[in-house]
Amino acid sequence: MSPSPHLCCCYLQTLPPIFHKASLNYRHKPPQNPNAAERKQKLYVACGSRGSKPSTPKKDDYHATLKALNSKGRSPRKSLGQNYMLNADVNDQLVGVAGVEEGDLVLEIGPGTGSLTNTLINSGAFVLAVEKDKHMAALVSERFSSTGKFKVLTEDIVKCHVRSHISTLVGSTEEINSDTRKAKVVANIPFYISTDVIKLLLPMGDIFSEVVLLLQEETALRLVEPSLRTPEYRPINIFVNFYSDPEYKFTVARTNFFPQPNVDAAVVSFKLKPPSEYPQVSSSKSFFAMVHSAFNEKRKMIRKSLQHICTSLEIEEALESIGLLSTSRPEELTLDDFVKLHNLITKE
Protein backbone atom coordinates (compact mmCIF):
# COMPACT_ATOMS: atom_id res chain seq x y z
CA MET A 1 0.00 0.00 0.00
CA SER A 2 1.35 3.43 -0.87
CA PRO A 3 1.93 5.83 1.99
CA SER A 4 -0.48 8.74 2.34
CA PRO A 5 0.59 12.21 1.13
CA HIS A 6 0.34 13.38 4.73
CA LEU A 7 2.88 10.76 5.88
CA CYS A 8 5.35 11.66 3.13
CA CYS A 9 5.05 15.34 4.03
CA CYS A 10 5.79 14.53 7.65
CA TYR A 11 9.07 12.78 6.76
CA LEU A 12 10.14 15.52 4.41
CA GLN A 13 9.70 18.11 7.13
CA THR A 14 11.57 16.02 9.70
CA LEU A 15 14.62 14.93 7.72
CA PRO A 16 17.72 17.17 7.72
CA PRO A 17 19.12 18.75 4.52
CA ILE A 18 20.76 16.58 1.88
CA PHE A 19 24.53 16.34 2.28
CA HIS A 20 27.27 17.02 -0.23
CA LYS A 21 30.75 15.53 0.03
CA ALA A 22 32.35 18.94 0.42
CA SER A 23 30.28 19.71 3.52
CA LEU A 24 30.59 16.43 5.39
CA ASN A 25 31.59 16.96 9.00
CA TYR A 26 34.29 14.33 9.43
CA ARG A 27 37.27 14.97 11.62
CA HIS A 28 40.04 13.27 13.51
CA LYS A 29 39.50 12.91 17.22
CA PRO A 30 42.57 14.13 19.12
CA PRO A 31 44.14 11.58 21.46
CA GLN A 32 42.98 11.82 25.04
CA ASN A 33 46.41 11.25 26.55
CA PRO A 34 50.06 11.68 25.53
CA ASN A 35 50.51 7.94 25.01
CA ALA A 36 48.04 8.08 22.11
CA ALA A 37 50.18 10.43 19.98
CA GLU A 38 51.27 7.63 17.68
CA ARG A 39 47.69 6.47 17.20
CA LYS A 40 46.66 9.96 16.07
CA GLN A 41 48.72 9.54 12.94
CA LYS A 42 46.83 6.35 12.09
CA LEU A 43 43.39 7.98 12.16
CA TYR A 44 42.07 9.01 8.80
CA VAL A 45 39.35 11.29 7.53
CA ALA A 46 36.41 9.56 5.92
CA CYS A 47 35.75 11.80 2.97
CA GLY A 48 37.80 10.61 0.04
CA SER A 49 37.68 7.65 -2.30
CA ARG A 50 41.21 6.34 -1.84
CA GLY A 51 41.05 2.65 -1.05
CA SER A 52 37.26 2.59 -1.21
CA LYS A 53 35.03 0.77 -3.63
CA PRO A 54 33.91 2.50 -6.83
CA SER A 55 30.53 4.20 -6.76
CA THR A 56 27.57 2.03 -7.67
CA PRO A 57 24.43 3.16 -9.48
CA LYS A 58 22.20 2.53 -6.45
CA LYS A 59 23.74 4.31 -3.49
CA ASP A 60 21.47 4.88 -0.52
CA ASP A 61 21.00 8.49 0.51
CA TYR A 62 18.40 10.87 1.89
CA HIS A 63 15.82 10.05 -0.78
CA ALA A 64 16.41 6.27 -0.68
CA THR A 65 15.95 6.24 3.10
CA LEU A 66 12.76 8.30 2.86
CA LYS A 67 11.35 6.04 0.13
CA ALA A 68 12.20 2.85 2.02
CA LEU A 69 10.57 4.02 5.25
CA ASN A 70 7.48 5.25 3.43
CA SER A 71 7.15 1.93 1.59
CA LYS A 72 6.42 0.26 4.93
CA GLY A 73 4.61 3.21 6.48
CA ARG A 74 7.26 3.28 9.19
CA SER A 75 8.82 5.93 11.38
CA PRO A 76 11.97 5.36 13.49
CA ARG A 77 11.26 3.75 16.85
CA LYS A 78 13.04 5.36 19.76
CA SER A 79 12.55 2.23 21.87
CA LEU A 80 14.76 0.30 19.39
CA GLY A 81 17.35 3.07 19.08
CA GLN A 82 16.67 3.44 15.35
CA ASN A 83 18.76 6.20 13.79
CA TYR A 84 19.09 5.66 10.05
CA MET A 85 22.25 6.57 8.14
CA LEU A 86 21.61 9.12 5.37
CA ASN A 87 25.14 9.32 4.01
CA ALA A 88 26.39 6.59 1.66
CA ASP A 89 30.00 7.79 2.06
CA VAL A 90 29.96 6.75 5.72
CA ASN A 91 28.91 3.25 4.69
CA ASP A 92 31.78 3.13 2.18
CA GLN A 93 34.19 4.05 4.94
CA LEU A 94 32.80 1.47 7.37
CA VAL A 95 33.29 -1.26 4.76
CA GLY A 96 36.74 0.12 3.93
CA VAL A 97 37.85 0.02 7.57
CA ALA A 98 36.89 -3.67 7.75
CA GLY A 99 38.64 -4.45 4.46
CA VAL A 100 35.65 -6.42 3.21
CA GLU A 101 36.47 -8.57 0.18
CA GLU A 102 34.78 -10.99 -2.21
CA GLY A 103 33.75 -14.15 -0.35
CA ASP A 104 33.80 -12.63 3.15
CA LEU A 105 30.96 -13.39 5.52
CA VAL A 106 29.78 -10.26 7.32
CA LEU A 107 27.45 -10.07 10.29
CA GLU A 108 25.39 -6.86 10.26
CA ILE A 109 23.32 -5.80 13.27
CA GLY A 110 20.19 -3.73 12.70
CA PRO A 111 20.29 -3.28 8.89
CA GLY A 112 17.28 -0.96 8.94
CA THR A 113 16.50 0.11 5.37
CA GLY A 114 19.59 -1.72 4.07
CA SER A 115 21.89 1.17 3.20
CA LEU A 116 24.99 -0.45 4.73
CA THR A 117 23.82 -3.89 3.55
CA ASN A 118 23.81 -2.59 -0.01
CA THR A 119 27.44 -1.46 0.27
CA LEU A 120 28.53 -4.75 1.84
CA ILE A 121 26.91 -6.84 -0.90
CA ASN A 122 28.38 -4.61 -3.61
CA SER A 123 31.78 -5.29 -2.02
CA GLY A 124 31.33 -9.02 -2.61
CA ALA A 125 30.33 -10.08 0.89
CA PHE A 126 27.64 -12.49 2.00
CA VAL A 127 25.63 -10.66 4.67
CA LEU A 128 23.97 -12.28 7.66
CA ALA A 129 21.75 -9.56 9.12
CA VAL A 130 20.09 -9.61 12.53
CA GLU A 131 17.10 -7.27 12.74
CA LYS A 132 14.78 -7.07 15.75
CA ASP A 133 12.13 -4.97 13.95
CA LYS A 134 10.04 -7.40 11.87
CA HIS A 135 8.98 -4.65 9.44
CA MET A 136 12.57 -3.68 8.65
CA ALA A 137 13.52 -7.35 8.43
CA ALA A 138 10.80 -7.83 5.80
CA LEU A 139 12.00 -4.75 3.92
CA VAL A 140 15.64 -5.87 3.61
CA SER A 141 14.56 -9.42 2.82
CA GLU A 142 12.50 -8.16 -0.11
CA ARG A 143 15.31 -5.92 -1.24
CA PHE A 144 18.24 -8.36 -1.14
CA SER A 145 16.92 -11.93 -1.22
CA SER A 146 17.35 -12.13 -5.00
CA THR A 147 21.09 -11.39 -4.73
CA GLY A 148 21.87 -14.83 -3.30
CA LYS A 149 24.22 -13.09 -0.85
CA PHE A 150 21.88 -12.24 1.98
CA LYS A 151 20.03 -13.77 4.91
CA VAL A 152 18.13 -11.94 7.63
CA LEU A 153 17.24 -13.22 11.10
CA THR A 154 14.35 -11.53 12.90
CA GLU A 155 15.96 -11.74 16.31
CA ASP A 156 17.38 -9.66 19.14
CA ILE A 157 21.17 -9.72 18.66
CA VAL A 158 21.73 -9.91 22.43
CA LYS A 159 19.78 -13.20 22.54
CA CYS A 160 20.93 -14.50 19.15
CA HIS A 161 23.01 -17.71 18.86
CA VAL A 162 25.55 -16.06 16.59
CA ARG A 163 28.10 -18.88 16.63
CA SER A 164 25.51 -21.46 15.56
CA HIS A 165 24.16 -19.32 12.71
CA ILE A 166 27.65 -18.56 11.41
CA SER A 167 28.67 -22.23 11.43
CA THR A 168 25.51 -23.25 9.58
CA LEU A 169 25.97 -20.59 6.90
CA VAL A 170 29.63 -21.42 6.29
CA GLY A 171 28.78 -25.08 5.87
CA SER A 172 25.85 -24.56 3.52
CA THR A 173 26.74 -21.58 1.32
CA GLU A 174 29.25 -21.98 -1.51
CA GLU A 175 29.71 -18.21 -1.95
CA ILE A 176 31.26 -17.89 1.52
CA ASN A 177 34.97 -18.38 2.12
CA SER A 178 35.22 -21.54 4.24
CA ASP A 179 37.86 -19.91 6.49
CA THR A 180 35.66 -18.59 9.29
CA ARG A 181 38.44 -16.28 10.45
CA LYS A 182 37.53 -14.25 7.36
CA ALA A 183 34.14 -13.52 8.95
CA LYS A 184 33.69 -9.95 10.17
CA VAL A 185 31.15 -7.74 11.88
CA VAL A 186 30.29 -4.38 10.35
CA ALA A 187 27.37 -2.51 11.89
CA ASN A 188 25.73 0.76 12.79
CA ILE A 189 24.21 -0.39 16.07
CA PRO A 190 21.72 1.27 18.44
CA PHE A 191 23.78 3.14 21.00
CA TYR A 192 21.95 1.67 23.98
CA ILE A 193 23.07 -1.92 23.24
CA SER A 194 26.74 -1.07 22.60
CA THR A 195 28.11 -2.69 25.75
CA ASP A 196 25.98 -5.82 25.35
CA VAL A 197 27.09 -6.25 21.72
CA ILE A 198 30.75 -5.79 22.62
CA LYS A 199 30.54 -8.34 25.43
CA LEU A 200 28.83 -10.79 23.08
CA LEU A 201 31.13 -10.50 20.07
CA LEU A 202 34.66 -9.76 21.29
CA PRO A 203 35.23 -13.22 22.82
CA MET A 204 34.49 -14.77 19.39
CA GLY A 205 38.04 -14.50 18.07
CA ASP A 206 37.79 -18.05 16.75
CA ILE A 207 35.04 -16.94 14.33
CA PHE A 208 35.55 -13.25 13.60
CA SER A 209 38.77 -11.48 12.65
CA GLU A 210 37.42 -7.97 13.14
CA VAL A 211 34.44 -6.11 14.57
CA VAL A 212 33.80 -2.62 13.16
CA LEU A 213 31.09 -0.68 14.97
CA LEU A 214 29.57 2.77 14.71
CA LEU A 215 29.16 3.83 18.35
CA GLN A 216 28.29 6.90 20.35
CA GLU A 217 31.43 9.07 20.28
CA GLU A 218 31.80 9.27 24.06
CA THR A 219 31.55 5.48 24.31
CA ALA A 220 34.14 5.04 21.56
CA LEU A 221 36.62 7.28 23.36
CA ARG A 222 36.13 5.50 26.68
CA LEU A 223 36.72 2.12 25.07
CA VAL A 224 39.82 3.07 23.10
CA GLU A 225 41.64 5.81 25.01
CA PRO A 226 41.09 5.19 28.73
CA SER A 227 43.71 6.59 31.08
CA LEU A 228 44.91 4.94 34.25
CA ARG A 229 43.89 6.69 37.44
CA THR A 230 40.79 8.29 35.85
CA PRO A 231 37.05 7.64 36.37
CA GLU A 232 36.80 6.53 32.70
CA TYR A 233 39.00 3.49 33.38
CA ARG A 234 36.60 0.60 34.03
CA PRO A 235 36.30 -3.20 33.83
CA ILE A 236 35.03 -2.92 30.24
CA ASN A 237 38.47 -1.57 29.26
CA ILE A 238 40.13 -4.66 30.70
CA PHE A 239 37.61 -6.81 28.83
CA VAL A 240 38.10 -5.03 25.49
CA ASN A 241 41.88 -5.28 25.61
CA PHE A 242 41.81 -8.89 26.83
CA TYR A 243 40.02 -9.98 23.65
CA SER A 244 40.99 -7.36 21.06
CA ASP A 245 43.14 -4.49 19.87
CA PRO A 246 40.75 -1.51 19.59
CA GLU A 247 41.37 1.52 17.38
CA TYR A 248 39.39 4.74 17.01
CA LYS A 249 38.96 5.43 13.29
CA PHE A 250 36.88 8.55 12.63
CA THR A 251 34.03 10.70 13.88
CA VAL A 252 30.62 10.84 12.20
CA ALA A 253 28.60 14.00 12.85
CA ARG A 254 25.11 13.58 14.26
CA THR A 255 23.69 15.40 11.22
CA ASN A 256 24.26 12.27 9.12
CA PHE A 257 21.42 10.41 10.89
CA PHE A 258 17.63 10.43 10.82
CA PRO A 259 16.32 11.15 13.34
CA GLN A 260 19.26 13.24 14.44
CA PRO A 261 20.61 12.05 17.82
CA ASN A 262 21.83 14.42 20.50
CA VAL A 263 25.44 13.23 20.17
CA ASP A 264 28.01 12.53 17.47
CA ALA A 265 29.05 9.01 16.60
CA ALA A 266 32.41 7.38 15.90
CA VAL A 267 33.72 4.27 14.17
CA VAL A 268 35.87 1.86 16.17
CA SER A 269 37.68 -1.20 14.83
CA PHE A 270 38.26 -4.10 17.21
CA LYS A 271 40.88 -6.49 15.81
CA LEU A 272 39.97 -9.71 17.59
CA LYS A 273 42.67 -11.88 19.08
CA PRO A 274 42.48 -15.61 18.33
CA PRO A 275 42.07 -17.67 21.52
CA SER A 276 45.75 -18.67 21.40
CA GLU A 277 46.69 -15.02 21.95
CA TYR A 278 44.46 -14.29 24.94
CA PRO A 279 46.33 -13.39 28.14
CA GLN A 280 47.23 -16.59 29.97
CA VAL A 281 44.92 -16.97 32.95
CA SER A 282 43.80 -20.20 34.56
CA SER A 283 40.15 -19.22 34.11
CA SER A 284 38.73 -16.24 32.24
CA LYS A 285 35.58 -16.50 34.36
CA SER A 286 37.46 -16.16 37.64
CA PHE A 287 39.71 -13.49 36.12
CA PHE A 288 36.85 -11.17 35.20
CA ALA A 289 35.10 -11.92 38.48
CA MET A 290 38.24 -10.69 40.24
CA VAL A 291 38.42 -7.55 38.06
CA HIS A 292 34.78 -6.69 38.74
CA SER A 293 35.23 -7.26 42.46
CA ALA A 294 38.18 -4.88 42.46
CA PHE A 295 36.27 -2.15 40.62
CA ASN A 296 33.07 -2.58 42.62
CA GLU A 297 34.84 -0.78 45.43
CA LYS A 298 37.14 1.56 43.51
CA ARG A 299 37.87 3.75 46.49
CA LYS A 300 39.23 0.81 48.41
CA MET A 301 42.71 -0.57 48.04
CA ILE A 302 42.89 -3.91 46.25
CA ARG A 303 44.23 -5.61 49.38
CA LYS A 304 40.82 -4.87 50.97
CA SER A 305 38.43 -5.35 48.03
CA LEU A 306 39.82 -8.80 47.18
CA GLN A 307 39.91 -10.25 50.69
CA HIS A 308 37.26 -12.79 49.69
CA ILE A 309 39.92 -14.43 47.47
CA CYS A 310 42.81 -14.51 49.94
CA THR A 311 44.24 -12.59 52.88
CA SER A 312 45.31 -8.96 52.74
CA LEU A 313 48.90 -9.98 53.45
CA GLU A 314 48.95 -12.39 50.50
CA ILE A 315 47.55 -9.70 48.21
CA GLU A 316 50.13 -7.17 49.41
CA GLU A 317 52.93 -9.64 48.74
CA ALA A 318 51.55 -10.43 45.29
CA LEU A 319 51.29 -6.72 44.38
CA GLU A 320 54.83 -6.03 45.52
CA SER A 321 56.16 -9.05 43.60
CA ILE A 322 54.87 -7.57 40.32
CA GLY A 323 56.32 -4.14 41.06
CA LEU A 324 53.22 -2.42 42.46
CA LEU A 325 52.58 -0.68 45.76
CA SER A 326 50.77 -2.69 48.42
CA THR A 327 48.30 0.24 48.61
CA SER A 328 47.38 0.06 44.89
CA ARG A 329 43.80 0.70 43.78
CA PRO A 330 42.11 -0.95 40.75
CA GLU A 331 42.31 2.11 38.50
CA GLU A 332 46.10 1.94 38.78
CA LEU A 333 46.47 -1.57 37.31
CA THR A 334 46.90 -2.37 33.62
CA LEU A 335 45.52 -5.51 31.97
CA ASP A 336 48.92 -7.17 32.37
CA ASP A 337 48.99 -6.24 36.08
CA PHE A 338 45.57 -7.81 36.64
CA VAL A 339 46.62 -10.98 34.81
CA LYS A 340 49.74 -11.37 36.94
CA LEU A 341 47.84 -10.62 40.14
CA HIS A 342 45.13 -13.15 39.28
CA ASN A 343 47.64 -15.89 38.61
CA LEU A 344 49.35 -15.23 41.92
CA ILE A 345 46.38 -15.02 44.28
CA THR A 346 43.80 -17.34 42.69
CA LYS A 347 43.97 -20.89 43.91
CA GLU A 348 42.29 -23.24 41.42
Distance CA(249)–CA(269), nearest Å, equals 7
Is 1 annotated to bind ligand? no
Other CB atoms within 10 Å distance of the CB of residue 313: 10
CA geometry: angle at 80 spanning 267 and 160, to 5°?
80
Please indicate if the annotation marks 290 as binding a ligand. no
Is residue 156 marked as binding? yes
Contact (CB, 8 A) for 88 and 61: yes
Tell me if 301 is assigned to a ligand binding site. no
Is 110 annotated as a binding-site member? yes
Instruction: Please check whether residue 193 is in contact with residue 219, taking contact to mean a CB–CB distance below 8 angstroms.
Output: no
Separation CA 121–CA 101 (nearest Å) = 10
Q: Is 179 annotated as a binding residue?
A: no
Summarize the annotated binding site as residue ranges.
83, 85, 110, 131, 156, 188
Known binding residues for S-adenosyl-L-methionine: 83, 85, 110, 131, 156, 188
